[in-house]
Structure 1
């Protein structure tokens, strides 16, 4: 489902985005949507997910002695 929204952006940045859209023969909204998706994806990769960290902490408490030996 698509949803309309309004926002403001730096005019130079918008000009660059419009140029990208024109150069690639794409609609402006398509380029902006790709940029938003890339940003969201990058942010989700920037920090570990909660269940991963919980598994890591459990593993540390359970196998700490083994990890110490393996590190030597």
Structure 2
């Protein structure tokens, strides 16, 4: 995902896919996008975390 794609999908679900293992994938929702990071509220968290956009993939069924 790119920053521009993330900006188009604020409010949509994403999957965080770390480079070190698929077993560490997490679902979340894009809450905002800065000039460098996508802020994602992950399931079970209380605050959004800055995430590099290349580590994110839209969940199936997200608005296009």
TM over 0.5: no
TM-score by length of 2: 0.21
More helix by share: 1
Larger radius of gyration: 1
Whichever structure has more strand as a proportion of its residues is 2
The two structures have a TM-score, normalised by structure 1, of: 0.20
